[in-house]
């Protein structure tokens, strides 16, 4: 397996296919680089070099006890960029991966990245507070942690079978394979890292990171996203980005890059080639 070793000895697994302009994908919680299968195969066929890593503690990367927070995630991604000498890349993040992208660009700059995309992403901050009254209450995230601690395997059946892909909506075309694949990816990772990551994706404030991103950035979000509600995320993020563009998808769920891959891939391609 291809891995990059970080400063603290963590091994970050990655897939690196093809040649041409690199597209780097950052996955959501608690998944792995495999969540980008539909994008990896499509953009590889379009002549791009496609790269997807497993965040520390997730997938095939080291099941870490420490470093499960956004600064270290960003530094791990920088280690990958340096090891592969990536330049002129397009950086795409979904959900928690969108937070990782924002923190990476805010912390390490945009010198190696030409464009960025945030899909159903957690920035600017998910947690409700006096400064962020439209956010989600801490009880939501405490519930996630409780579900993990009590029965991670069952929790990872219930979430994709319900709100993540919108399979709880009337008339939804439920895919058992998609649910099974979500469960498989989640159970590959370490519970400690995934537990810690809940705090990372819910409480990290990316406002100042977004303001520093001086490259074209596409913000893509479904208006029926039940995991990261659009009004307190994409609609705000797009106004903080110096070169941000918001594209709203009526009725699309959080996991729209899987459920509506044909639409998302076409729009990503148009943005990249523009």
Q: Per the residue annotation, which of 26, 32, 95, 202 is the catalytic one? A: 95
Q: Catalytic residue at 254?
A: yes
Query: From CA 250, how far away is CA 256, in angstroms rounded?
Result: 11
Q: Per the residue annotation, which of 34, 54, 225, 232 is the catalytic one? A: 225
Residues 6+ positions from 254 with CB-CB distance below 8 Å: 95, 120, 163, 164, 165, 166, 222, 225, 226, 227, 228
DSSP code for 127: B
Paired tokens of 19:
């040649």
Of 78, 70, 69, 71, give the one whose Cα is nearest residue 12: 78
Paired tokens of 163:
């709100």
Query: From CA 33, how far away is CA 97, in angstroms rounded?
Result: 10
Q: Catalytic residue at 225?
A: yes
Q: Kindly write down the DSSP assignment for every residue of 166-177, as one continuous string.
A: TTTSTT----HH
Q: Per the residue annotation, which of 53, 58, 221, 254 is the catalytic one? A: 254
Query: From CA 194, how far away is CA 156, in angstroms rounded?
Result: 12
Task: Identify the bridge partners of residue 12 per DSSP, sorted by sequence position.
Answer: 4
Q: Catalytic residue at 158?
A: no
Residue 208's Cβ-side half-sphere holds a number of Cα atoms within 13 Å equal to: 3
Is-contact 56 72, C-beta < 8 A? yes
Place of tokens 């397009």: 90
Residue 9's Cβ-side half-sphere holds a number of Cα atoms within 13 Å equal to: 4
User: What SS3 state is found at 117?
Assistant: strand
Which residues are marked as active site?
Answer: 95, 225, 254
């Amino acid at each position: 397996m291809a891995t990059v070793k970080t400063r603290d000895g963590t091994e970050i697994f990655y897939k690196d296919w093809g040649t041409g302009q690199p597209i780097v994908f950052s996955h959501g919680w608690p998944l792995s680089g495999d969540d980008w299968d539909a994008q990896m195969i499509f953009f590889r066929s379009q002549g791009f070099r496609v790269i997807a890593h497993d965040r520390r503690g997730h997938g095939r990367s080291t099941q870490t006890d420490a470093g499960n927070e956004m600064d270290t995630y960003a530094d791990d991604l920088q280690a990958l960029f340096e090891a592969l000498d990536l330049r002129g890349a397009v950086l795409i993040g979904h959900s928690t991966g969108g937070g990782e992208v924002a923190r990476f660009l805010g912390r390490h700059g945009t010198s190696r990245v030409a464009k960025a995309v945030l899909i159903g992403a957690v920035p600017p901050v998910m947690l409700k507070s006096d400064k962020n009254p439209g956010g989600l209450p801490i009880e939501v995230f405490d519930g996630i942690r409780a579900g993990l601690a009590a029965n991670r395997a069952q929790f990872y059946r219930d979430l994709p079978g319900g709100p993540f892909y919108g399979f709880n909506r009337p008339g939804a075309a439920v895919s058992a394979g998609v649910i099974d694949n979500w469960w498989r990816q989640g159970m590959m990772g370490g519970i400690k890292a995934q537990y810690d990551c809940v705090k990372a994706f819910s409480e990290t404030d990316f406002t100042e990171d977004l303001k520093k991103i001086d490259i074209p950035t596409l913000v893509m979000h479904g208006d029926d996203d039940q995991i990261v509600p659009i009004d307190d995320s994409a609609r705000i993020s797009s106004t903080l980005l110096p070169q941000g563009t918001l594209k709203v998808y009526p009725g699309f769920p959080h996991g729209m890059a899987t459920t509506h891959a044909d639409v998302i891939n076409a729009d990503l391609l148009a943005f990249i080639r523009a």
